[in-house]
Amino acid sequence: MNLIIDVGNTLVKFAVFQQDTLIEKKIVKSDEALKTFEKIIKEYRFITKSIVSSVGKLEETVVFAIQEQLNVLVLNKDTNLPFKNLYKTPQTLGVDRIALVSASVQQFPHSNVLIIDAGTCITYDFVNKNNEYLGGAISPGIRLRYTTLNTLTANLPLLDTEMPEGLIGSTTASSIHSGIVLGILKEIDGIIDEYQERYEDLTVILTGGDANFLSKQLKNGIFANSNFLLEGLNYILEFNSH
């Protein structure tokens, strides 16, 4: 069994895999990471190896506890990957994007795949049917856009995310919802259209915290998978275990 640990800026995800099957997933705050790890290890005694992917920072006590009990792979720019990385600055490529691309080459081999991760940022990552990662794009996510309008202007309020009732906002609030949410939907659909014009038989994956909110509104056919990153980390771990 494998333990996947994905460290974000404020939250830590723990996932237990039996081969390619996700058995359990826990999402906790950073200060609950050690207690959660100890509970998982006690419950799943057959876990032997782990991978840690971090865009945030995990406390050293947690790292030491994991390394004492498991064979740990820390994902970084030197990790052996299951695809050819053609990114011109590979040392700056985020571990989250690496994991997403890895999941795509496992689940959709020899395919042109566009992975869209709708989280704090919206990332677009493309891997072609030759198993070559070419790169993509980075854009502000939904909450980042709401927050930016509030913090960088004098009078615009900070609103909760909401699907707009229509294109034309008749109040300041409805105008913000229309501009942000419809703007993102048009952005995503437009980028998918551009890739479809260039690459035949394109497979599109939508993942991330806002995937469910956005997926029902997109006009293009997509696969929505909220666990895609965790599945990619599990595949990297298995890929480096043989």
For residues 157-179, average pLDDT: 96
- How sure is the predictor about 87, in pLDDT bands with cuts at 50, 70 and 90? very high
Long-range pairs for 43-50: beta carbons < 8 A, 24 or more residues apart: 44/1, 44/3, 44/16, 46/1, 47/1, 47/2, 47/3, 47/16, 48/1, 48/2, 49/2, 49/3, 49/73, 49/237, 49/241, 50/2, 50/3, 50/4, 50/5, 50/237
Confidence (pLDDT) at 114:
98
Confidence (pLDDT) at 55:
80
Q: Per-residue pLDDT tens for 17-62?
A: 999 999 999 999 988 999 999 999 999 999 999 999 988 777 788 8
Q: Per-residue pLDDT tens for 96-112?
A: 999 999 999 999 999 99
Q: Is the pLDDT of residue 10 over 80?
A: no
**For residue 95, what are its two tokens?**
């571990």
Q: Is the pLDDT of residue 9 over 80?
A: no
Q: Is the pLDDT of residue 217 over 80?
A: yes
CATH class of the domain at 2-74 = alpha beta
| Strand-pair partners of 74 | 52
- How sure is the predictor about 85, in pLDDT bands with cuts at 50, 70 and 90? very high
Q: Is the pLDDT of residue 242 over 90?
A: no
Same fold, 2-74 and 84-233: yes
- Listed by start position, the domains of the chain span 2-74, 84-233
Buried-state track 32-68, b at ≥16 Cβ within 10 A, e below 16: ebbebbeebbeeeeebeebbbbbeeebeeebbebbee
Whether 96 sits among the annotated catalytic residues: the reply is: yes
| Of 190, 170, 171, 192, the residue nearest 182 (C-alpha) | 190
Among the listed residues 6, 78, 96, 189, the single catalytic one is 96
Instruction: State how far the Cα of 220 lies from the Cα of 204, in Å rounded to an integer.
Output: 9
Q: Is the pLDDT of residue 195 over 90?
A: yes
Contacts of 150 (CB under 8 A, 6+ apart): 156, 157, 158
Confidence (pLDDT) at 210:
93
Q: Which homologous superfamily does the CATH classification assign to the domain defined by 84-233?
A: ATPase, nucleotide binding domain (3.30.420.40)
Confidence (pLDDT) at 194:
96
- How sure is the predictor about 188, in pLDDT bands with cuts at 50, 70 and 90? very high
Instruction: State how far the Cα of 152 lies from the Cα of 196, in Å rounded to an integer.
Output: 36
Q: Per-residue pLDDT tens for 121-145?
A: 999 999 999 999 999 999 999 999 9
**For residue 236, what are its two tokens?**
């990297």
